[in-house]
Homo-oligomer: A and B are copies of this chain.
Amino acid sequence: MGRVPKVMTAQSRSPSGYATWRLIAEELRREIVGGARAPGAKLPPEAELAERFGVHRNTVRQAVSALAAEHLVVSRRGSGTYVAEHTVLVHRIGARTRLSDSLGSRGDASRRLLASAVEPEPPAEVTERLSLGGGAGLRLETASSVDGLPISRGTHWFAADRVPGLAERFSDTGSITAALRAVGIDDYVRAATTVGARHATVAEAADLSLTAGSVVLVTRSLDTLMDGTPLQLGITRFVAARVELDVGHPDLELDGPA
């Protein structure tokens, strides 16, 4: 592979608005999370990386320390820098799958309530998609993490009068499904989900322990009761570096008879 893209050749920085060390960090991160460098593997020495990217070793060091800050690599003086265990969480998006399920399959996962509030006048999108019609909205802010690393932040909207006491129930269980069951809603399905991606806002970067400008996956989903009544509008921001979404296609059989 020799020299690699060569974007960062000139002295100091490329005029892209991105610091050279950031571009290098992102390239190395791609190699790691993409699987080209397995956990436990040793990274090439800084001197070698510096030569490969055509920059000074100090610049590589800054890139590596950024990766170390997000626990993707661990450096040992005198020995080398090693890829850390980093397991990417695969979250399945399906009509009946919940984030709790994806988290539950893992060892040290948690989901917790950060805040809840009754909003007399929710944003237009919420009023519309939940068919609130002037009623108040209940907003829940949640956070999830795996192995102590933040995975996602979620904003969940409900019709306030349909789910009395939901916030308290959620705190008990860490599961929205369980909390809904506790307030009398036994079943619901995912009606629609859209997926986008963008740079994290400053606030999101802080919340998710990311450096500014990291990438987040954003899902917007609508859950409905079995009779089609809209139940929950959820907006979830996932740390793109640590999460992959799996879009199930279980509707194969549905097409046969049609």
Contact = CB atoms under 8 A, between A and B. Distances in A.
Contact of A22 (B18, B21, B201, B203): B18
Given A27-B201, A255-B189, A244 B17 contact: no
Interface string A57-99: 0000000001000000000000000000000001001111000
Contact of A247 (B7, B33, B194): B194
Interface stretch (A114-122, A164-172, A210-218): A210-218
A47 interface: no
A193 B249 contact: yes
A250 interface: yes
A251 B138 CA distance: 28
Given A211-B16, A245-B194, A250-B251, A26 B94 contact: no
Given A18-B22, A211-B17, A30 B190 contact: no
Interface residues of A, number: 58
A96 B189 contact: no
A244 B195 CA distance: 6
24 contacts: A7-B212, A13-B19, A14-B212, A17-B19, A17-B211, A18-B213, A23-B212, A26-B213, A29-B198, A30-B198, A33-B198, A95-B251, A189-B252, A192-B246, A192-B249, A193-B246, A194-B245, A195-B246, A197-B216, A197-B217, A198-B215, A198-B241, A251-B251, A251-B254
Contact of A215 (B93, B201, B215, B248): B215
B189 A249 contact: yes
Contact of A5 (B13, B27, B201, B216): B201
Contact of A193 (B215, B241, B247): B247
A252 to B, nearest CB: 6
B95 A252 contact: yes
Contacts of A216: 197
